[in-house]
Amino acid sequence: MKLYYYPGACSLAPHIVAREAGIAVTLEKVDLANRTTETGANFASINPKGYVPALGLQDGSVLTEASAIIQYLADNQANTDLAPAHGTMERYRLLEWLGFISTEIHKGFGPLWNPSTPDAVKAATKERLATRFALLDEALGKQPFLTGDKFTIADAYLFTVVNWTNFHGIDISSFPNLQAFQARVASRPAVQQALEAEGLTKKAA
Ligand SMILES: N[C@@H](CCC(=O)N[C@@H](CS)C(=O)NCC(=O)O)C(=O)O
C-alpha cells in the first residue's frame, strides 16, 4: 500500500495507524501547491480531490478520506485494539468521535490555514475551537484515550489535528487533560517513528 501524505497534515493520522498496526506502507510525499508527488506523478490523476491523505491499494484503486482510511487500516489487522468490531456499540462510539474530530476539529482549523483570512475570523475560529477543546478536555479527564483505556484510530486522528495548535500558536495549557493526552500519544514509539519519518519530531506536541 502507498500513503500519499504531506508532513504534519491529516495524513499523519493514517501514517500513525499503519505503524501502530504494523502495516507496511510506502510513503509518497505530495506537493499540494503543484499537485505533484515526490516521484513526479500527477497527484490530480491519483486523487482528483487534490488533497491528502490518499491510500493506494494493492488492486490499483485509491481510498480517500482520513476517517475511511484509518478504519480500513485498522480493520485489516483483526488482532489490534485500534478499532472495535463492526456492529458493536463500541464501534458507533468510535464513529461518533471520528465524526466530531473530522467536522469540528479538523475542519474547524480550516480558516487558520488561509493567509487571506481576516484577523477577526481567525480569532472567532480559535474561540470556536476552544469550545471543542473544552469538551475533549472533559472527556480525557475521565480516561486516557477517547474511547477508554485503549489507544484507537480516533486518538491517532485527534493527536494529528490538535498538533496543529503548534503551527498556529494556540496555547492549550488551559486544557490540561488534552495537553497531557497530546504528550501521552506523542510518546508512543509508533507515533515517534511517524513524526520522525515526516521530519516533524521537533514540532510535535
Ligand atoms: N475530507 C478530507 C480532507 C483532507 C484535507 O483537509 N487535507 C488537507 C491536509 S490536512 C489537504 O491536503 N489540503 C490541500 C488541499 O485541499 O488542496 C479528509 O477528511 O481526508
CATH of the domain at 139: 1.20.1050.10
Q: How many domains does the chain have?
A: 2
- 168 in the same domain as 100: yes
> Ligand 1, atom 14: nearest CA belongs to which residue?
51
- 74 in the same domain as 93: no
- 93 in the same domain as 70: no
- 176 in the same domain as 146: yes
> Ligand 1, atom 17: nearest CA belongs to which residue?
51
Give the pLDDT score at 110.
Answer: 98
For 30, the 3-state DSSP assignment is: strand
Give the pLDDT score at 203.
Answer: 47
Q: b vs e for 184-193, b when ≥16 Cβ sit within 10 Å of the residue's Cβ?
A: bbeebebbee
Range of the domain at 125: 89-188
- 18 in the same domain as 96: no
> Nearest to residue 27, comparing CAs of 195, 203, 205, 202?
195
- 51 in the same domain as 93: no
- 99 in the same domain as 32: no
Average pLDDT of span 158-186: 98
- 169 in the same domain as 121: yes
Can you say whether the dihedral through the CA atoms of 192, 196, 201, 205 is positive or negative? Answer: negative
- 16 in the same domain as 73: yes
Count Cβ atoms below 10 Å from residue 124 Cβ, excluding itself: 13
Which atom belonging to ligand 1 lies closest to the Cα atom of 102? 19
- 137 in the same domain as 178: yes
Give the pLDDT score at 204.
Answer: 44
**What's the gap in Å between 89 CA and the centre of ligand 1?**
29
Q: Residue for cell digits 472527556?
A: 139
Question: What is the rounded distance in angstroms from the CA atom of residue 74 to the CA atom of residue 17?
Answer: 7
Which atom belonging to ligand 1 lies closest to the Cα atom of 10? 10
Residues above pLDDT 70, as percent of the chain: 98
Pocket-forming residues, ligand 1, beta carbon under 6 Å: 9-10, 32, 50-53, 65-66, 102
> Nearest to residue 167, comparing CAs of 193, 203, 135?
203
Give the pLDDT score at 5.
Answer: 98
Give the pLDDT score at 77.
Answer: 81
**What's the gap in Å between 33 CA and the centre of ligand 1?**
12
Mean pLDDT of the chain: 96
- 94 in the same domain as 70: no
- 75 in the same domain as 117: no
Q: What is the CATH classification number for the domain harbouring 49? A: 3.40.30.10
**What's the gap in Å between 142 CA and the centre of ligand 1?**
31
Which atom belonging to ligand 1 lies closest to the Cα atom of 113? 13
Average pLDDT of span 114-119: 97
